[in-house]
């Protein structure tokens, strides 16, 4: 599903954000990406959604070499890869349902089918009762669930979460993680970049650790620290 072959990313000032990274993620896998700030987690995620290109090496996402995508290829890639961020990135002037439906609207879908899809994901994340509220009326956990619903509404093959619990208290963090586990069980490949050691240690999933741009550890049922 995801393949990074000998990937390096060097910034113009000469520092390496990633160096000689080889990574394979199979369909349906659940992967934690851990490492200190600046280890390269966010860069790796930006490469996967083609926010950035590699300096050397190849990134393949769902059979597409992302560097070779042209024109409409990039939007199509991003519809296959849902992304969730620490800061939710919700539109404050739109309701929960509108925020979710926005992802359908701007990719050319609307009407009844769009409403049904929106209802489906809102039910999945448990927010049907909050659908007409604005983001400022929601708790942090509810805002993050809205952003997960938006990421899922295009039925992506892969869901990437960059510090999804970074702004949330421990209890809410657990709710979000349980939701993400459920999404993974429904068949979506999941990559979560996180600093949350408790969660990583409790779930015992695959852990890929980055340090100074290199993969230093890749364990099947890993812990946050070696």
Partner 1 sequence: MRRLGYLFTAAWQGFLRNLVMSAASSVTVALMLVLLTFFAIAERGLEQAVRLFESKVEVALYLEDSARPSEILALKSRIEADPVVSRVAFVTKDEALQRLRAGGQVAVVDLDANPLPASLEVKLAQAQEAPRLTERLRREVGAGVVKELVDNPAVVDDLLTVTRLLSAGGLAVLAMMLFVTLFVIVNTIRIAVYARRDEIEIMRLVGASDRLIRWPFILEGMLVGVAGALVALGVIAALAPTVSGAVAAFAGIVPLDFGGVFAAQLAGGVLGLALLVGAGGAGLSVRSHLRA
- Residue ranges in contact with partner 1 by CB under 8 A: 49, 71-72, 75-80, 82-83, 89, 91, 102-103, 105-111, 150-151, 154
Q: Which is nearer to partner 1, 80 or 212 (CB)?
A: 80
Q: How far apart are CA 139 and CA 137, in angstroms?
A: 7
What is the rounded CA–CA span in Å between residue 168 and residue 91? 19
Distance CA 48, CA 15 (A): 20
Instruction: Please report how many Cα atoms fall inside a 13 Å half-sphere around the Cα of residue 116, on the Cβ side.
Output: 3
Least spacing, CB of residue 80 vs partner 1, in Å: 8
Please check whether residue 189 is in contact with residue 29, taking contact to mean a CB–CB distance below 8 angstroms: yes
- At closest approach, how far in Å is the CB of 105 from partner 1? 6
CB of 52 to partner 1, least distance (A): 12
Task: State the nearest-atom distance from the C-beta of 67 to partner 1, in Å.
Answer: 15
**CA 112 – CA 179 distance, rounded (Å):** 26
Q: Closest Cα partner for 138 from 109, 173, 96, 172?
A: 96
Residue 154 vs 172, nearer CB to partner 1: 154
Q: Which is nearer to partner 1, 152 or 168 (CB)?
A: 152
Check if the beta carbon of residue 27 is closer than 8 Å to that of residue 157: yes
Least distance in Å: CB of 91 to partner 1? Answer: 6
Question: Least Å distance between CB 99 and partner 1?
Answer: 9
Q: Is 13 helix (H, G, I), strand (E, B) or coil?
A: coil
- In this structure, the number of other CB atoms found within 10 A of the CB of residue 182 comes to 12
Q: Closer to partner 1 at the Cβ: 87 or 137?
A: 87
Identity of the residue, 180 or 209, whose beta carbon is nearer to partner 1 in the bound complex: 180
Q: Which is nearer to partner 1, 23 or 149 (CB)?
A: 149
Instruction: For residues 200 and 145, give the distance between their C-alpha atoms in angstroms, rounded to a whole number.
Output: 20
């Amino acid at each position: 599903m995801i393949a990074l072959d000998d990937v390096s990313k060097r910034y113009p000032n000469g520092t390496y954000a990633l160096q000689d990274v080889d990574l394979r993620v199979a369909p349906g896998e659940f992967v934690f990406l851990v490492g200190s700030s600046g280890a390269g987690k966010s860069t790796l995620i930006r490469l996967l959604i083609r926010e950035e290109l590699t300096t050397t090496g190849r990134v393949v996402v769902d059979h597409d070499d992302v560097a070779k995508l042209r024109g409409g290829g990039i939007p199509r890639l991003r519809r296959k890869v849902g992304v969730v961020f620490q800061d939710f990135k919700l539109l404050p002037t739109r309701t929960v349902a509108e925020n979710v439906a926005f992802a359908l609207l701007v990719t050319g879908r609307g009407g009844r089918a769009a409403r049904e899809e929106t209802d489906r994901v809102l039910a999945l994340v448990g927010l049907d009762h909050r659908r007409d509220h604005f983001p400022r009326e929601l708790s942090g956990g509810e805002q993050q669930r809205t952003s997960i619903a938006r990421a899922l509404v295009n039925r992506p093959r892969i869901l990437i979460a960059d510090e999804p619990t970074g702004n949330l208290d421990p209890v809410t963090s657990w709710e979000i993680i349980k939701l993400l586990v459920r999404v993974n069980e429904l068949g979506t490949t999941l990559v979560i970049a996180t600093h949350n050691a408790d969660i990583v240690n409790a779930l015992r999933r695959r852990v890929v650790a980055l340090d100074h741009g290199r993969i230093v550890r890749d364990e099947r049922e890993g812990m946050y620290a070696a």
